[in-house]
Structure formats: C-alpha cells, structure tokens
Chain A
C-alpha cells in the first residue's frame, strides 16, 4: 500500500535551517510530483511548492522563493524539503503529499503524517 513517512519533529533556533524528509513506498516514485503543504497550529493549509520526482524540477510559492529547497533521492524514494532563515512564523506542521504527474489535474491523494517544526530561541 502507498505510504509517505516523514521524519520526526524538529526544534530549531531562529535563523537556522531545517530539512524534512518524506520516504515513499508502495508505488513508482518517479511517476509523481511531491508537494509540501504547511499548517501553522490552529490555522489553515498553505501550499509551499512541488518537486517533480522524475526530473527534479521545482516550483515554489513566491512567499518561500529563495528560502526553500525541494529535492529528491530516487535511490531511496525519498523527497526532501529544506527551509532556511527560520523565524517564529515558520513554526508549523509540514506535510508532504503526492500528486500523479500522469493525470489531468493537481490533487493530493496521499499525505504524510506531518512533521512539526518548532522555532524557538
């Protein structure tokens, strides 16, 4: 069965960087995009960007441009999201979510369990 398993919770200081992983299993990794969506505690969902798991191409929300990197390792079927220059406003639950690159539409049929990133001095 399809699974997306994310890395564990992180606590970082302001100005630092965090790298979250998302290990996929149960499907052909490179047939999909991986998106990252975050959720500040008690608030709604915010799309951050995607990485094409085949080509490595990326697209980011302007809000995160210059501060976010999304990569993948096809040898381990793992996607990564790294966010730099962290501030308290980046305290959130970060989700990975897959999107079928071969279908019309962009929609997320499987999600990771979420990784809580806390920014605290």
Chain B
C-alpha cells in the first residue's frame, strides 16, 4: 500500500498570511494518462469533508482561488495565498491512483 505523509500536522496562521501544507507519497502518483492522482480535502469543524483540489492542481467548483495545488510524482503542496477565518479545519491529501485509497494524517489549521 501507499504511505502518505503530511506535514506539518498543525498550523497556526494569522488572517491574511499565507499557509502551505506538504504531502508526500511513498510511490509516484503519475498515471499513464498523464494525470497525477492526488487530491485535497478540507474538513471544517462539525462538517463533512469538502473537495478542494483534484488531480494535483485543479480547483473544485466554488473553491476560492486563494487555494492552489501543485506537485508531481511523489511530492505535493497545497498553498493558501491569504488565510481567512473560514479556512479553519483539517486538511487531508489523498492518493487516488490505486485502491485502497489512502488519506494523509491530516493537517489542522488554526487561525490566530
């Protein structure tokens, strides 16, 4: 199975400041079709997870453009250009290349 490692596990950020979360896979997530199968979700307190980024860098419908995803192969990054109070929650990356799909441990973002 894949091993997915996120860092840091927690972040404390001032509104308006940037934030960055790293996600590393034990194996490449590049598929023969040219897509890289890494997605990002945010779970706000008391809510179901919501899709932020799919296939490494594609923002889901309705996701603000302050969220961006990048990376290739085994190393990926989620960036928030200017954190807002509503961004508080736990961010998860997940490899969706092969089953069983594996989520990272989660990164808790707290707002100062």
A residues with a Cβ closer than 8 A to B are 35, 37, 44-47, 49-50, 59, 61-63, 95, 97, 104-109, 111-114
Contact = CB atoms under 8 A, between A and B. Distances in A.
Contacts of A109: 51, 60-61
Interface stretch (B15-23, B72-80, B101-109): B101-109
Nearest to A99: B96
A95 B35 CA distance: 26
A44 B49 CA distance: 11
Interface in B59-112: 60-61, 90, 92, 94, 96, 99-106
Contacts, number: 63
Interface of B: 33, 35, 37, 39, 41, 43, 48-51, 54-55, 60-61, 90, 92, 94, 96, 99-106
Nearest to A43: B106
